[in-house]
């Protein structure tokens, strides 16, 4: 009986301990208020920067379309942009990978000049016809501005990580008009298969406020045709698995080609201006061979066209991937999201015609899945598809994004992404950057080969 009473007393004591004192509740309230205040500040900065960027990008695109002859000067523009980055941009050349390394390793302050330099470099890339996107620019502007705030306010390392994630979320959400997807992306893209939930509130606030700020400044985002409601059945599920395998294959080829071109350029043409000059020549030559400017710049009109045109060239996805790999591999500025939207939508258009899937649904699912597989962010892109295409897309896009993500293996457009658990389920001893994974595997294999056999 005494033993039972002792257990009851311990249980009551543990329950009383589980109830936080009023001071702890006030502490949580103050932390929530701090997250909301700082997240709002970061969001306003990100939204303002994205609005300026999108406005300039629209002017750049209009100018290029009105004066297509300017594309011939892309190599000269490459010399100028390369010289600018050689002189002032060495510390920020890592781009999104530098942000991931900084968040993970608590590295030095991101130079605030990253924001204006990547803004200028990306706008110039689009003026002269380079095939690039905008997410990289928005994310880098958002993260550098958020880190500037964190260092001016002298916040601790943990809160600094929160603000960096908020900057990524605010930049991504505001530049695409997808605030919920932006928040998830800011938490998902750092470590494969892991969500940084401790930064959820500031990331969500920054992304929502950033989107509201951008829209409040008069920016209008592209409207895509809504996904038609289609019931999921076993046959359609099988088609989606084939679809996902094709998306994974195409994004794998794009990632490997882009990284290979970058490595070859750095090894054979050391000065960045020279690499960009040669890359510009290659883009101009390809433009003349193809005979259309559809694959230059963002390519948004072709993305929208993929939702409704059954006569879209079947090779459109491959050509856009090639134009973009050359542009980014040479060192031009921009992101991969919109070009991969193009690749995915055009691929989805082609696959939909073969598999008997509604065109708008195939293009929409492909658009989201291509970037999901390339960036290892299937959750963010599933949410993004809902924000852009409507809820009817969700079950289909979630299936394809997840399977394309798994089939894509351990590769990414962001080589600094950390891996804690392999996609097959094996847990690693510690986080390792994807760029270091091949060397780590070779080292492990060499150690296993030299280890003397155990005698039983």
Assigned domain for 312 exists: yes
Task: Tell me the per-residue pLDDT of 353-396, one tens digit each, with 9 for 90 and over.
Answer: 999 999 999 999 999 999 999 999 999 999 999 999 999 999 99
Q: Return the structure tokens found at 52.
A: 């300026």
Among positive and negative, which fits the CA dihedral 353, 356, 357, 360? positive
Task: Tell me the per-residue pLDDT of 58-88, one tens digit each, with 9 for 90 and over.
Answer: 999 999 999 999 999 999 999 999 999 998 8
Which structural domain, as residue segments, surrounds residue 153? Answer: 35-216
Query: Do residues 114 and 92 make contact, with C-beta atoms less than 8 angstroms apart?
Result: yes
355 and 299 within one domain: yes
In 3-state terms, what secondary structure has residue 260?
helix
Assigned domain for 430 exists: no
- With vertex at residue 430, the alpha carbon angle to CA 380 and CA 370, rounded to the nearest 5 degrees, is 25
Assigned domain for 224 exists: no
Task: Tell me the per-residue pLDDT of 262-304, one tens digit each, with 9 for 90 and over.
Answer: 999 999 988 999 999 999 999 999 999 999 999 999 999 999 9
Task: Tell me the per-residue pLDDT of 249-260, one tens digit each, with 9 for 90 and over.
Answer: 999 999 999 999
Q: Distances from the Cα of 275 to the Cαs of 74, 91, 127, 279, in angstroms?
A: 12, 18, 19, 6
Q: Which residue has the tokens 């297509």?
A: 68
304 and 168 within one domain: no
Q: Is the pLDDT of residue 442 over 90?
A: no
CA atoms within 13 A on the CB side of 278: 14
Q: Return the structure tokens found at 3.
A: 């033993």
Please report the pLDDT score of residue 15 as a whole number. 41
Query: Do residues 227 and 361 make contact, with C-beta atoms less than 8 angstroms apart?
Result: yes
Assigned domain for 446 exists: no
Assigned domain for 340 exists: yes
The last residue of a domain, from among 366, 392, 407: 407
Task: Report how many domains make up the chain.
Answer: 2
Q: Return the structure tokens found at 19.
A: 């109830």
pTM: 0.89
Assigned domain for 3 exists: no
CATH of the domain at 338: 1.10.3080.10
Q: Interhelix angle for 378-389 vs 394-407, to 10°?
A: 150
Q: Which residues lie below 8 Å from residue 6, measured CB to CB, with a gap of 6+?
A: none
pLDDT band per the 50, 70, 90 thresholds, residue 451: low
Assigned domain for 453 exists: no
Q: Distances from the Cα of 446 to the Cαs of 97, 158, 166, 308, 440, in angstroms?
A: 28, 37, 41, 53, 10
302 and 341 within one domain: yes
CA-to-CA distance for 45 and 112, rounded, in angstroms? Answer: 12
Assigned domain for 448 exists: no
């Amino acid at each position: 009986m005494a033993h039972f009473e002792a257990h009851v007393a311990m249980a009551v004591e543990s329950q009383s301990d589980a109830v936080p004192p009023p001071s702890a509740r006030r502490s949580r309230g103050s932390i929530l208020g701090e997250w909301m205040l700082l997240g709002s500040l970061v969001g306003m900065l990100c939204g303002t920067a994205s609005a300026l960027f999108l406005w300039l990008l629209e002017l750049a695109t209009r100018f290029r379309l009105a004066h297509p002859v300017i594309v011939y000067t892309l190599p000269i523009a490459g010399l100028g942009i390369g010289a600018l980055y050689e002189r002032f941009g060495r510390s920020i050349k890592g781009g999104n990978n530098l942000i991931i390394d900084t968040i993970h390793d608590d590295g030095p302050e991101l130079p605030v000049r990253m924001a204006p330099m990547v803004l200028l470099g990306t706008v110039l890339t689009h003026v002269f016809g380079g095939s690039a996107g905008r997410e990289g620019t928005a994310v880098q502007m958002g993260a550098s501005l958020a880190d500037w705030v964190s260092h001016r306010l002298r916040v601790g390392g943990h809160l600094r990580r929160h603000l960096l994630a908020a900057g990524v979320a605010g930049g991504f959400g505001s530049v695409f008009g997808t605030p919920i997807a932006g928040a998830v992306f800011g938490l998902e893209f750092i470590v494969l298969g892991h969500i940084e939930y401790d930064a959820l509130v500031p990331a969500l606030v920054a992304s929502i406020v950033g989107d509201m700020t951008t829209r409040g400044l008069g920016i209008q985002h592209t409207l895509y045709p809504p996904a038609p409601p289609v019931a999921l059945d076993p046959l359609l599920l099988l088609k989606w698995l084939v679809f996902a395998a094709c998306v994974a294959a195409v994004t794998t080829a794009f990632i490997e080609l882009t990284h290979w071109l970058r490595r070859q350029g750095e090894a054979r043409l050391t000065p960045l201006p020279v690499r960009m000059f040669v890359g510009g020549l290659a883009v101009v030559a390809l433009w003349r061979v193809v005979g259309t400017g559809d694959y230059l710049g963002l390519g948004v009109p072709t993305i929208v066209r993929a939702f409704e045109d059954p006569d879209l060239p079947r090779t459109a996805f491959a050509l856009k991937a090639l134009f973009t790999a050359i542009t980014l591999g040479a060192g031009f500025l921009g992101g991969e999201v919109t070009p991969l939207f193009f690749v995915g939508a055009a691929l989805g258009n082609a696959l939909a015609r073969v598999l008997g899937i509604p065109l708008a649904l195939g293009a929409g699912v492909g658009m989201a899945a291509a970037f999901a597989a390339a960036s290892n962010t299937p959750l963010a892109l599933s949410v993004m598809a809902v924000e852009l295409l409507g809820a009817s897309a969700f079950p289909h896009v979630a299936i394809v994004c997840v399977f394309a993500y798994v089939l894509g293996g351990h590769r990414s457009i962001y080589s600094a992404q950390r891996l804690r658990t392999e996609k097959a389920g094996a847990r690693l001893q510690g986080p390792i950057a994807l760029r270091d994974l091949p060397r780590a595997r070779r080292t492990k294999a060499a150690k296993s080969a030299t280890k003397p056999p155990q005698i039983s």
